[in-house]
């Protein structure tokens, strides 16, 4: 083979071109000769807009991409959040009628046919004065249960539904209250014996006195943990009105016979504060007293009843609640009210209750007409403050709730303090002793289940409060001078009496004597905890 | 049915809840209105006395609510638009006005921001 070019010329041609097979003789002028040539120069002249713009190329690329079958049809940025709307819920069953669920929730069960009936003495008026009754369980009689139910003396979650008949343990504080009631009633009361009798229960535990003392110490320490105990109370703070300025001998004598007591019952949760109120109600009712109750002070402050401003007193009246209060009063004390005369005619606009009618008629008017209820309550309280009127027990449970700003709002939208509500204000004036009945006892019980009320806690403990502490300044003066009854923990004999009652009711199957120490210490001497430990705690 | 502020309200409704049904009355305004007239939290429409019902209606007439408030808002937007402001344009373009991202979730703006704003 003879080369067409001489070797000298062949040096200027790339060697690769020489080794490749022969090409067509007339290729286009722009056909690349080498692969290293830039692509941009290979495009036809008419496609190039300008040397610096890449728009057309990119557009061409995008166009190519859109032809691909797997590409996303939506452009980026157009995605939106789409939440499927659910239809209305499908109603499976018919909803309960209005009030049915509430009635079910508030249903109070006071008897249990499955529990064994226990032979117990009845809680009578005489027991109130007996020191010997301390540590014994008594049952409420049938008629008394009905009355206490009307007064809302029994509450939910107190465990009444486990037993055949409502029964109660009489503690040291019960006897103190009972004696107070007897004293206000004008009866002779024996002061409490200083030397306590040794509990009979210890007979079987001879030689174990040290253990008992140790257990007692444990119970005391556990009981006061987290709760500021009060420094006890005095028996000598009852209000005995002075008769020095009274010239009329008869009036002076009547005034001398006037008696009025007041107490705040305080203690940890489940200590039996509300049950003490229930016992007081029972004893007062048995002595033919009239009983006014505010069973739960929370009802007054959570904004569930109507309220209106009273210009004359600058207080907020709650007339529907006052009407309910008068209705409870009327139903529970009807017999006594019917026998109580009126001192004067009472005129409320067009309604007139003449002097010849009884206190019952007056109360009835207020319990039927919501607009008159507050005026009628004041008239009834005036009548009860006069001499020779029946003694009055005025109780309020959950005192903590009226030591706080309420859920009600004034027109300028500031919360109304509970002390500016007329009913709490009225109760506190009786509790402080500013207003009195001719013969009356005012009792308030605290609660451990309210929002924190540090001002009340300090006031009850009688402690000096640092001026730098942000406490409600109205609370301490509102209960100034009121004796505080601190509910003490269960003693060993009291715990034993309760456990025997559980055993006799068929609810506690273990041996009382051998498990007493364990349950007593576990419960810290709190009756509610003892019941839980005996009835509910399983191992 | 009780006639309050120009509409009939069912009787078993809480007053506070019923008031929030008016355009321009939210929970806070309703609570303040109830406090002003001493209406408690759990008051039902049927519990209101005639004088209280009248008082509620009177208070509502003093406030810019419903069509008055709608008109006022539309006028405010119109003013922005007429001035040629950015906010005015965004309102007209169905886009968020206050600098929100527009990548996704601008449903409220899409729905409400129109030349004549809805709602």
pLDDT at B34: 95
Give the residue on B whose Cα is nearest the Cα of A79. Answer: B104
Q: Show residues of chain B in contact with A410, CB under 8 Å.
A: 35
Query: What is the CB neighbour count within 10 angstroms for residue A349?
Result: 9
What is the rounded distance in angstroms from the CA atom of residue A354 to the CA atom of residue A393? 26
Residues B51 and B92 in one domain: no
pLDDT band at A326 (very low <50, low <70, confident <90, very high): very high
Are B108 and B73 members of one domain?
yes
- The better pLDDT of the pair A138, A248 is held by A138
Q: What is the CA radius of gyration of chain A?
A: 43
Residues of A in contact with B40 (CB under 8 A): 303-307, 408
Residue B53 sits in which domain range? 2-63
Strand partners, A439: A259
What confidence score (pLDDT) does residue A267 get?
Answer: 92
Residue B6 lies in a domain: yes
Find the CB nearest B35 among A77, A306, A410: A410
Write b or e for each residue in A353-376: b if 16 or more Cβ atoms lie within 10 A of its Cβ, otherwise e.
Answer: beeebbbbebbbbbbebeebbbbb
Say if residue B6 is in the same domain as residue B59.
yes
Handedness of CA A167, A168, A169, A174 (dihedral sign): negative
Q: Are residues B33 and B86 in the same domain?
A: no
CA distance B2 to chain A (A): 19
DSSP A350: T
CB-CB contact of B50 with B64 (8 Å): no
pLDDT surpassing 50 at residue A39: no
Q: Identify which of A70-84, A289-303, B91-105 has the greatest average pLDDT.
A: A289-303
Q: Where residue A208 falls among pLDDT bands split at 50, 70, 90?
A: low
- Same domain (yes/no): B12, B44: yes
Q: Residue A8: pLDDT band by 50, 70, 90 thresholds? A: low
For β-strands A484-486 and B2-4, DSSP reports them as: unpaired
Q: Best mutation site among B40, B52, B59 for testing chain A: the one with the most A CBs within 10 Å?
A: B40
- Is A77 in CB contact (< 8 Å) with chain B? yes
| pLDDT higher than threshold 50 for residue A152 | yes
Q: What average pLDDT score do residues B99-112 get?
A: 90
Rounded to whole angstroms, the Cα distance separating A102 from A304 reads 14
pLDDT score recorded for residue A225: 56
Higher-confidence position of A145 and A449: A145
Q: Which of A294, A293, A236, A232 is nearest to A264 (CA)?
A: A232
Residues B49 and B36 in one domain: yes
Query: Mean pLDDT throughout A349-361?
Result: 94
Q: Give the A:B interface size as CB pairs under 8 Å.
A: 40
Distance CA B102, CA A390 (A): 79
Distance from CA of B104 to the nearest CA of A (A): 5
**C-alpha pair distances (Å), A331 with each of A146, A295, B25:** 10, 15, 45
Q: Which residue(s) pair with A263 in the sheet?
A: A443
* Sign of the alpha-carbon torsion through A477, A480, A485, A488: positive
Q: Do B31 and A81 touch (CB under 8 A)?
A: no
Give the up-direction half-sphere exposure of residue A529: CA atoms within 13 A in the CB hemisphere: 18
pLDDT in tens, A362-412: 999 999 999 999 999 999 999 999 999 999 999 999 999 999 999 999 999
DSSP assignment letter at A161? G
Whether residues B11 and B34 share a domain: the answer is: yes
Work out the average pLDDT over A117-129: 92
**Are A138 and A178 in contact, with CB atoms under 8 Å apart?**
no
Reduced to 3 states, what is the DSSP secondary structure of residue A173?
helix
Q: How far is B83 from chain A (nearest CA, A)?
A: 30
Residue B29 with chain A: CB contacts under 8 Å: none
CB B105 to CB A407 under 8 A? Answer: no
Beta-bridge mates of residue A254? none
Residues of B in CB contact (< 8 Å) with A are: 12, 31-32, 34-38, 40-43, 47, 103-107
CA distances, A340 to each of A125, A333, A336, A368, A389 (Å): 22, 11, 6, 20, 7
Measured between beta carbons, the chain B residues lying within 8 angstroms of A305 are: 40
Which of residues B63, B81, B100 is at a domain's end? B63
* Residue bearing tokens 């309420």: A406
Tokens of A21: 């097979």
Select the residue from A76, A78, A80, A299 to test the B interface by mutation, using most B Cβ atoms within 10 A: A80
The first and second tokens of residue B107, run together, are 């449903």
- Say whether both B80 and B107 belong to one domain: yes
Q: Cα–Cα distance between A217 and A213 in angstroms, integer?
A: 6
Give the residue with greater pLDDT, A203 vs A503. A503
In a domain, B38, yes or no: yes
- Band of residue A38 on the pLDDT scale cut at 50, 70, 90: very low
Q: pLDDT > 90: what percent of chain B?
A: 70
Comparing alpha-carbon positions, the chain A residue that sits nearest to B36 is A411
Give yes or no: residues B91 and B38 share one domain. no
User: CA-CA distance, A417 to A405, in Å (whole number)?
Assistant: 4
Note whether residue B52 is domain-resident: yes
Task: Taking residues A277-290, report their average pLDDT.
Answer: 96
Residues with Cβ within 8 Å of residue B87, at least 6 apart in sequence: B80, B97
| Predicted local distance difference test score (pLDDT) of residue A435 | 92
Least trusted range by pLDDT, from A13-17, A58-62, A392-396, A425-429: A13-17
- B5 neighbors B59 (Cβ within 8 angstroms): no
Instruction: Specify if B119 maps to a domain.
Output: no
Most confidently modeled range among A53-67, A299-313, A458-472: A299-313
The whole-number pLDDT of residue B45 equals 93
For B47, the closest chain A residue by CA position comes to A306
The answer to whether residue A116 scores a pLDDT higher than 90 is: yes
% of chain A beyond a pLDDT of 90: 59
Chain A CB contacts of B38 below 8 Å: 307-309, 411
Give the model's pLDDT for residue B117: 80
- Given this model, what pLDDT does residue A336 score? 96
Strands A259-266 and A484-486: parallel
Q: Where are the beta strands (DSSP E) in A217-350?
A: 259-266, 290-294, 308-310, 315-317, 346-348
- Could you report the per-residue pLDDT of A188-200, keeping only the tens digit for each? 887 765 544 444 4
pLDDT at A76: 56
Q: Is B81 within a domain?
A: yes
For the record, the structure tokens of A348 come out as: 């409320």
| Cβ-nearest to B40 among A79, A305, A411 | A305
Instruction: Give yes or no: residues B10 and B46 share one domain.
Output: yes
Range of lowest pLDDT (A95-99, A311-315, A357-361): A95-99
Domain boundaries, chain A: 213-486, 491-536
Q: What is the mean pLDDT of chain B?
A: 91
* Domain co-membership, B11 together with B57: yes
Residue A331 C-beta-side C-alpha neighbours within 13 Å: 18
**Do the Cβ atoms of B38 and A308 come within 8 Å?**
yes
CA end-to-end distance (rounded Å), chain B: 26
Number of domains in chain B: 2
For position A16, what pLDDT does the model report?
56
Q: Give A2 or A126, the one with higher predicted confidence.
A: A126
CATH of residue B87's domain is 4.10.910.10
In contact, A456 and A407? CB cutoff 8 Å: no
Residue matched to tokens 């309050």: B4
Using a 10 angstrom Cβ sphere, with 0-12 exposed, 13-18 middle and 19 or more buried, the burial of residue A210 is exposed
Top-confidence residue, A242 or A123:
A123
Across the range A107-117, mean pLDDT stands at 94
pLDDT at A239 over 90: no
Residue A214: pLDDT above 60? yes
Mean pLDDT of A272-298: 96
| pLDDT reading at A490 higher than 90 | yes
Residues B15 and B55 in one domain: yes
Tokens encoding B42: 């759990």
Q: What would the pLDDT profile of A53-97 be if each residue is shown by its tens digit?
A: 665 666 666 554 444 444 444 455 566 777 788 888 888 888 889
Q: Which two tokens stand for residue A342?
A: 């009126």
What is the band of A209 on the pLDDT scale with cuts at 50, 70, 90?
low
Q: For residues A501 and A495, what is the distance between their CA atoms, to the nearest angstrom?
A: 10
CATH of the domain at B54: 1.10.8.50
More confidently predicted of B35 and A58: B35
Dist. CA A137–CA A279, nearest whole Å: 12
Q: What is the mean pLDDT of residues A12-19?
A: 52
Higher local confidence (pLDDT), A227 or A517: A517
A309: which chain B residues are within 8 Å (Cβ-Cβ)? 38
């Amino acid at each position: 083979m003879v080369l067409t070019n001489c070797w000298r010329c062949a040096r200027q041609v790339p060697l690769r071109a020489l080794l490749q097979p022969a090409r067509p003789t007339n290729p286009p002028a722009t056909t690349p000769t080498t692969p290293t040539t830039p692509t941009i120069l290979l495009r036809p002249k008419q496609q190039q807009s300008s040397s610096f713009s890449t728009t057309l190329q990119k557009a061409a690329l995008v166009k190519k991409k859109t032809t691909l079958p797997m590409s996303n049809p939506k452009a980026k940025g157009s995605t939106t959040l789409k939440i499927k709307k659910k239809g209305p819920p499908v109603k499976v069953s018919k909803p309960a009628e209005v009030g049915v669920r509430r009635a079910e929730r508030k249903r109070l069960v006071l008897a249990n046919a499955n529990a064994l009936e226990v032979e117990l003495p009845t809680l009578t008026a005489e027991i109130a004065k007996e020191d010997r009754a301390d540590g014994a369980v008594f049952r409420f009689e049938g008629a008394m249960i009905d009355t206490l139910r009307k007064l809302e003396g029994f509450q939910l979650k107190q465990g009444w539904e486990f037993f055949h008949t409502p029964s109660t343990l009489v503690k040291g504080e019960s006897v103190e209250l009972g004696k107070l009631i007897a004293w206000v009633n004008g009866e002779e009361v024996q002061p409490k014996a200083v030397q306590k009798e040794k509990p009979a229960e210890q007979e079987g535990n001879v030689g174990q006195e040290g253990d008992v003392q140790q257990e007692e110490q444990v119970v005391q320490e556990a009981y006061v943990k987290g709760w500021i105990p009060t420094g006890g109370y005095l028996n000598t703070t009852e209000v005995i009105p002075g008769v020095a300025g009274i010239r009329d001998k008869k009036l002076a004598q009547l005034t001398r016979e006037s008696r009025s007591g007041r107490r705040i019952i305080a203690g940890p949760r489940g200590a039996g504060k509300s049950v003490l109120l229930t016992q007081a109600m029972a004893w007062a009712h048995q002595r033919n007293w009239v009983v006014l109750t505010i069973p739960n002070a929370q009802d007054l402050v959570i904004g569930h009843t109507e309220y209106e401003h009273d210009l004359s007193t600058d207080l907020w009246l709650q007339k529907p609640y006052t009407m309910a209060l008068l209705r409870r009063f009327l139903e529970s004390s009807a017999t006594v009210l019917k026998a109580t005369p009126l001192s004067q005619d009472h005129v409320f606009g067009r309604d007139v209750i003449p002097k010849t009618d009884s206190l019952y008629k007056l109360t009835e008017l207020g319990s039927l007409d919501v607009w008159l209820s507050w005026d009628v309550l004041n008239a009834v309280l005036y009548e009860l403050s006069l001499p020779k009127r029946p003694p009055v027990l005025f109780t309020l449970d959950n005192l903590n709730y009226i030591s706080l700003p309420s859920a009600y709002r004034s027109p300028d939208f500031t919360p109304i303090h509970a002390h500016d509500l007329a009913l709490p204000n009225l109760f506190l004036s009786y509790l402080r002793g500013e207003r009195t009945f001719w013969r009356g006892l005012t009792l308030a019980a605290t609660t451990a289940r309210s929002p924190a009320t540090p001002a009340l806690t300090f006031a009850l403990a009688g402690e000096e409060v640092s001026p730098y502490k942000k406490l409600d300044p109205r609370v301490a003066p509102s209960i100034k001078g009121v004796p505080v009854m601190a509910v003490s923990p269960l003693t060993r004999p009291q715990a034993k009496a309760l456990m025997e009652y559980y055993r006799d009711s068929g609810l506690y199957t273990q041996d009382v004597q051998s498990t007493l120490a364990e349950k007593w210490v576990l419960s810290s001497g709190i009756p509610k905890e003892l019941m839980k430990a005996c009835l509910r705690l399983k191992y | 049915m009780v006639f309050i502020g120009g509409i009939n309200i069912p009787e078993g409704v809480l007053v506070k809840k019923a008031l929030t049904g008016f355009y321009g009355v939210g929970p806070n305004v309703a609570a303040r209105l109830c406090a002003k007239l001493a209406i408690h939290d759990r008051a039902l429409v049927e519990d209101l006395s005639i004088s209280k019902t009248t008082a509620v209606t009177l208070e509502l007439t003093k406030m810019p609510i419903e069509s008055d408030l709608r008109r006022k808002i539309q006028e405010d937007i119109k003013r922005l638009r007429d001035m040629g402001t950015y906010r005015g344009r965004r309102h007209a373009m169905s886009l968020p006005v206050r600098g929100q991202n527009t990548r996704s979730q601008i449903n409220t703006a899409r729905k409400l921001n129109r030349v004549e704003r809805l709602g």
